[in-house]
Chains A and B, each alone.
Chain A
Amino acid sequence: MAAPMLRWGCRGRRWALACVDGGSCHRRGAPTGSTSNRIRGQSSVAQQPLHTAQKPRKGEHKWAAVVGLEIHAQISSNSKLFSGSQVRFSAPPNSLVSFFDASLPGTLPVLNRRCVEAAVMTGLALNCHINKKSLFDRKHYFYADLPAGYQITQHRLPIAVNGSLTYGISAGKECGQVIPKMVRVKQIQLEQDSGKSLHDDLRSQTLIDLNRAEGQLRVDANISVHHPGEPLGVRTEVKNLNSIRFLAKAIDYEIQRQISELENGGEILNETRSFHEKLGCTVSMRDKEAKQDYRFMPEPNLPPLLLYDATSLPTGADPQQVINIDQIRETLPELPSVTRERLVQQYGMLPEHSFTLLNEVGLLEFFQNVMKETRAEPKKVTSWVLNIFLGYLKQENLAVSESPVTPSALAELLDLLDSRTISSSAAKQVFEELWKREGKTPGQIVSEKQLELMQDRGALEQFCYSVMKDHPQVVMDVKKGNPRAINKLIGLVRKATLNRADPAVIKEILEKQLSS
């Protein structure tokens, strides 16, 4: 039941962006579904200037959009933020509800240490300032799935503030180039989740599930458009977006809708909208009541949350009773931006390749495991992992963990290629065999299919001699100076050797024989 809130804003290249102000921006209607332990973040992302759907006519202003995201992310923990009841996906409704979760009178919240640690870790990962003292507040509204009539959140002083996240977006021809970007994170706050309402229109009833442990990610997007250099526009909030794809679609739609509205002389209302997934558009939620006043109040049952670092840790403090920020920092895994930088430095990898490696779950680990076992060049490995391996995965819509080809198998295959035991095309053939999950090693496949490159130079010279003898016309062409004609001879020799000869060696032999 805790959801921290990040607010991030990114600085566009040319625009000094005004981040949507927290106070005015943060506004929520009665939430619907939710999770049990949440981190909520807010961000505001300014976008590059946008053109209207048509190309701007002369003298027409360009538009810029400002986007702020309120991200509700469920904390991965065994029990809820303020109670000892479990968190488990797809548990039967209301089967994981403690007396506190049901808001029985007299029950009190008890903060879950694991959730605090997760929030601190998230804050560190997002380059936030961690507040050594943070506070809990009550946010009031009546809703059937909010049994206490209020939600415990961090309104005044959240656990982490002022962070940033760097990321890349694909641009250029075929999106091959990656442009680094940064969003600012306004704050991260721990927040209790509401329950889930299931409306049964047929029977005119609403069913409530207080498990509160589903929907790991939910985003509310605040969007406005304005002319660069002019004050920010009126903002709308699109609520409860539960996938990245819908988030992007909703934002794109809303920006275009606002621009056309304004260009046609209309005005933008400060309202809550929802995204219609089938129609791909946003629709006004027509808030039943006008503006809600949440009547925030300090949560009196939770003392201020105090965090420590190595310098402020009280001597003799029981480690079970305190949370040490420095200790959490030490357990932080390498962050993606650092990993990407390392890949570029260590392997001479293109930045865009480093992004691709990190964007696919498990792909980096796969790559690194191949690297550990192969003699092949990093460039070769990168190319195979990103082009061939990833291509096969995508084609069959598989996750890295579901791959039929192990890192060891690929490493062995790349070694065979590196030692010129097989040709590149033979390697691809071996890979295809490996993908069939027949339990054979690359070495076995190579020998069964007789895919080894011919190492016997004498035999190869014999093949070349035969081909030249059988194709005098082509030989004549070469001698006449047609540079492409030799490729035809090479192709013929390869065919004769059942693709087992190294084209470079063939070429060398042919040239020698032709010039003799």
Chain B
Amino acid sequence: VCFIPGGLDCSVSFVSQILGKVCIRGRQKEILSVLVPHLTDLTKSDCIWQRICWRLVECVPDRWMEAVVLGFVQKAPGADVLSRLLGNLVVKNKKAQFVVTQKMLLLQYGYTTAVLQNLLGYLSLDSLRRALMIKVLQELLETWGSSSAVKHSPVEQQQYISKAILICLSHLKEPEIESCRQELLMSMMEGVKCHLDSSLPQIRRLGMIVAESISSKITTDGPVLKFQYEEDDEARELKSLLVQAPLLSVLPDLPDNNRNENAEAALPAVLESNGKSPTETTHVMPDGDSDAELDSDDDLVPYDMSEDKELKKTKAPVYIRDCIEVLTGSEDLDKWEEAVKALEGLVRKNPAAAREVSVELAKILLHLEEKTCLEGFAELRQKAQVAVLTTDPIPVAQYLTSQFYSLNYSLRQRIDILDVLVLAARELSCPKAHGKTKHSGAQNPCIQLLPESDSSKDWRRIVDERIKSKTRRFAKGQSQVERPSGPNEFSSLAGHFFFPLIQNFDRPLATFDLLGEDHFVLGRLVHTLAVLMYLAVNTMAVTAMGKALLEFVWALRFHTDSYVRQGLLSCVSSVLLSVPAERLLQDVTEELLETRLWLEDVVEKDPDGDCRRLALQNLLLMENLKKKLETVPS
């Protein structure tokens, strides 16, 4: 579509209408992929063309404005191009303003980061539009900081809003920051609180990154807010948004210049590196020479000095009872440290002695607090607890599960109890690969002893892999070599671990209310039950456990915390995987049917993506079970 310039007083409204009609029919991509590059070139330096372009979009009728604007924003290669094409459309046209500032940012969340950059960059480039950008930032922060939004909106939407906030922050200039510093600070405080309350680690991390970014922008001097979180690709990508991205449109316009520049830039870098290496080598030479000269004279052979270690004033205790004495009474911190370090080894080496004092040890370890700055204290304590539990499972499990529901324990201690139970169960059960044929590419479904706490993701991954290994049956990959098998020591103990935990969850205590505020612990409890269920495969109590677990799930199925719901769904997976199919259909039929109805509901209506996916996998598992039973000749 070519335009004929010249002194013609042409009206472009007709073209606008065509454009609008085409866009509303859904053909934005086709028409704009031709139109936008042309317009980009033409409007680069020619003011008249810019005006023509602006008239073009301004004349699009309101009912088609949304489609056109959306198309332009998505198609434009950069924020400045968008600015040239659209001009001050958002200021002049109400509908366009609504689309750009409200709909694309707050009501939809499917657009890519590049589109967000375009949009917000466009808003920042003109002074008239900057006021809009400030308003947009305020609304984004309001949404980000509202606790109901954090609890109920999907993770993807929260990520999108966070990205938008970071890009806005990158465009803010000093005077603007000055004027809205207080507001930024207030919204940051509120928002951080809601985010850190959440049970999902992703949400917490998003909150931390955004709060850090806001803090770095508003505090010019003095300490900046700094959180500790895992740095991975997502975090790095988000943080890179805070730095203004260079204008991308510069490169295609000046290819030759840029290439030259790049080449020039490359040359000095190469020269530098070349220059460095000769000097390095020359540095090495003299040392090497002098070394050689001395070594040839020095024919004194050193003896083995590996025994030369730091002189310790106290020796490590050798008896378990000594350890107990030191840990309970002693004021001597060196002895205390040695006892903590030595305990796990001693318990494992002397199981008979450990069994005599197992409950006492468990009590001491549960209440053991860090007295000195010992490295890896939490890990040492946990390993010792696992050792005690595996050496004398029944009494210690009884003790721990009863303490889980007792008064006056900290959340950390209750979660410790859960972690220890799971680790001990894993160690006792040593599940092996069942040698089933599976995709050659699938990962090893055997449970390795993975590192402990915050491993809810790991458990889910293990269960997922198990599901994967069972649902993909059509391709016969190579069968894995059978790992050496040992007796499953967990079989007689599964009940002791499992049932006490599941009994009292609905009785609130003064300091511990699983169904109320402490839903984080409830989430962990649910995940623990899922793992225990999974590890109880092929044990005698598995059917009873499955029944109890499905009832438990039924009682909690409408919980508002998505972490808890994910846990419930993994419980269902564990039940379906562990309880043999015949038992399921005979003894657990009613619960199974009810659960199935619930799963279908979750797949359709749950706001959390992970929950929906898990529910879908569970339904697939159920289908497979049914098919398997139907094909088995009875």
**B is bound to A:** no
